[in-house]
Amino acid sequence: MNIINISKQKIFDNKNQVYAYELVFKDMSNNHTALSTSIRGTAQLIMSSITSKELDKLLGHKTVAFINIDEDSLLKGILDVLDKDRFILNIMENIDLTENVIAKIIQYKKRGFLLSLEHFDSSAHMLAKFNRLFNYIDIIKMDIVLSEPENLEKVMAKFKGGRVKLLAQNIETKEDFRKYADMGFDFFQGYYLDKPEVMEIIGSKEPAQFIILQLIKIIKDNNSTEQLEFFIKKQPDLSYKLIEFFNNSKKFSVKIESLTQVITLLGRDKLLRWLLVYLYSETSKSPASKSILALAIRRAERMEAEAEPRQKDKAYLAGMFSMLSSIFETDIKELMEHIQMDRDITSLVLEKKGIFAPSLMRAEKAEKDYLRKIMMENFDKLNTNDLIYTLEYGGVEIDKSKL
């Protein structure tokens, strides 16, 4: 289990309502650290934690969050899995504004993200540095401690009442709050209003699993092919395996020029099936992963064959999803709620009910009949410890006195 420390602090609007939280990652020494820095794993693990089922527990169902970003987190594409409706990209004051970084910031703005500037000290230097970005910035977090009063007033005059909203940062006293509220700031943040709360977030078992499940959700939500390509190409291993799979397919004999071409020719149903196979084969750490993959495919194919013509694709997915718990350490109910699959599939996975339940029962009986047969034929070869682990893991009580 991966535990990540995240500090969250409330940000209030001018009606004293909670507008957002600022999220800051903490390292082992409880020091602030950049999003792109490795914390008990990888940046993708961090991203999985704040885009998973833990998100609503962290923020509530509607509140947005400021998340600090630097040039690395922008250029490495680790922000691509964030929900634009839940996160504001908070640009660090010391960011290196290269042409590539500026282009990336504009790209995220065009994708619908809100952008803010962190610790803006109102100086001429800061105004000059971010001048090219002001047309894309939505919120300026003005540091009232670092800002000279006359500079702060000039910046207020420049932006007050316009499209860009102003946030008074580092409100430490009641007097501070009254003063900057009277000046017309839109938002407020500081220890006087709210002290940061450090929370532990449980990260995904394996970042690759999260990435694939996010992609499954993108496909299911019927996003554009461009969005699919944008997401896939940020995962080099996944891109390579997909193209390799496509090239090995006997159905196609064309020269691949882009991922869009692969996605279009494969079709979404075929892509979704391949992703599930990839999920089982590449991310499972179980010694029996190859057998589990074979079993999942066989179960899915069996259920597909038994389904009505219009339900065949759904039956295949139901069969594959019915075994996901074999490679996840998390509660399968929470997992299914996160990816929000079809009701028939979800009902089968969680309760073994619904239109595919009889087919699943038949598949499981056939599997158990075969495994019982092979187990009895090889019983003398099996290790006692392995048998005990298997029985106890399956919830079977062992009479210790008879061992």
Main-chain dihedrals φ then ψ at residue 117, nearest 5 degrees = -110, 135
Does residue 26 sit in helix, strand or coil?
Answer: strand
Same domain for 192 and 212? Answer: no
Q: How confident is the model at residue 10 (pLDDT cuts 50, 70, 90)?
A: very high
Judge whether residue 381 has pLDDT over 80. Answer: yes
Whole-angstrom distance, CA of residue 320 vs CA of residue 303: 10
Give the DSSP per-residue string, 286-343: -TTHHHHHHHHHHHHHHHHHHS-GGGHHHHHHHHHHTTGGGT--S-HHHHHHHHT--H
Same domain for 257 and 150? Answer: no
Stretch (H or E) spanning 103: helix 99-110
For position 205, what pLDDT does the model report?
A: 46
CATH number at 44 reads: 3.20.20.450
Q: Identify which of 343, 346, 344 has the alpha carbon closest to the alpha carbon of residue 335.
A: 346
CB 10 within 8 A of CB 193: yes
- Which domain covers residue 353, as residue numbers? 207-365
Q: DSSP class of residue 164?
A: S
Residue 250 is assigned to a structural domain of this protein: yes
Q: Identify which of 115, 121, 187, 178 has the alpha carbon closest to the alpha carbon of residue 151.
A: 121
Beta-bridged to residue 20, according to DSSP, are 11, 64
Percent of the chain with pLDDT over 90: 36
Choose between 318 and 339: higher pLDDT: 318
Residue 106 is assigned to a structural domain of this protein: yes
Q: How confident is the model at residue 186 (pLDDT cuts 50, 70, 90)?
A: very high
132-141, 267-276, 284-293 — which is least confidently predicted?
Answer: 284-293
Same domain for 159 and 223? Answer: no
Last residue in a domain, options 203, 224, 257 = 203
Same domain for 11 and 106? Answer: yes
Whole-angstrom distance, CA of residue 24 vs CA of residue 35: 8
Same domain for 64 and 83? Answer: yes
200-214 per-position pLDDT tens digit: 765 544 555 666 777
Same domain for 283 and 255? Answer: yes
Q: What is the model's pTM?
A: 0.56
Last residue in a domain, options 145, 174, 203 = 203
Whole-angstrom distance, CA of residue 50 vs CA of residue 78: 12
Beta strands in 107-234 (DSSP E): 114-120, 139-143, 165-169, 187-189, 197-203
For position 38, what pLDDT does the model report?
A: 38
The total number of structural domains that make up the chain = 2
Q: In sequence order, which residues have a C-beta less than 8 Å from that of residue 10 and are 6 or more positions away?
A: 18, 20, 21, 189, 193, 194
Stretch (H or E) spanning 370: helix 357-377
Same domain for 232 and 157? Answer: no
Whole-angstrom distance, CA of residue 291 vs CA of residue 374: 14
Choose between 143 and 233: higher pLDDT: 143
